[in-house]
Amino acid sequence: MQHDAEWARAKKLCRLSAEDVRMAKELGFKPKSLIKNIPNRSQPWKAPVAAWVRHLYEKKTGKRAQAAPFKPPSPKPEPELDFESYFESVFEPDFDPDFESEPPETVWLSELEDPFDDRIPPARQETGE
C-alpha cells in the first residue's frame, strides 16, 4: 500500500505517465531513485526523468517506447472575404481614402496652464536683515 503511494508521489513529482511508470518498474527503478534524479535548474544538461526513463528503456529492450500519438490542433477554416467586403468591414462606410486632413495643431507643454499652481506655496522672500 505504501509502495503504491510512493509510486504515485514519484509519478506526480517527475511528471510521469502510466507508461513511464511501467517502464521504470521494468527497468528496476524505485520511486526514490526517480525522485532523486529530477533535474535542478542548475543542471540544464539533465533530461527530464520521463525522457531519461524512455531512453534507458529503448536502450535496454531495443524497442521504442510507445508514446501517446501527437495530434496537432485542426486549423479553423477562415471565412472567405473578398476585398470589397473586407474594406467595408474595416473602414467606415463614408470613408474617403483621398481625403487629406491637416495634422493637429502642436501644443507645447510650456503653453498650458498648470491646474496645480494654486497648491504650490509662494517662494519665501529673503529679507536683508
Q: Tens digits of per-residue pLDDT, 94-109?
A: 666 666 677 667 777 7
Q: Specify the pLDDT at position 24.
A: 93
Q: Mind listing the pLDDT tens digit for each residue in 55-92?
A: 999 888 887 766 556 667 777 777 676 777 776 666 66
How far apart are alpha carbons 38 and 40 in whole angstroms? 6
Amino acid at 18: A
Q: Taking the domains of the chain in order of start, what are their residue ranges?
A: 2-61
For the cut 90, the answer to whether the pLDDT of residue 120 exceeds it is no
Average pLDDT estimate for 28-54: 91
What's residue 74's pLDDT?
A: 77
Among 46, 17, 52, residue whose Cα is nearest residue 34 = 52
Identity of residue 30? K
66: DSSP letter: -
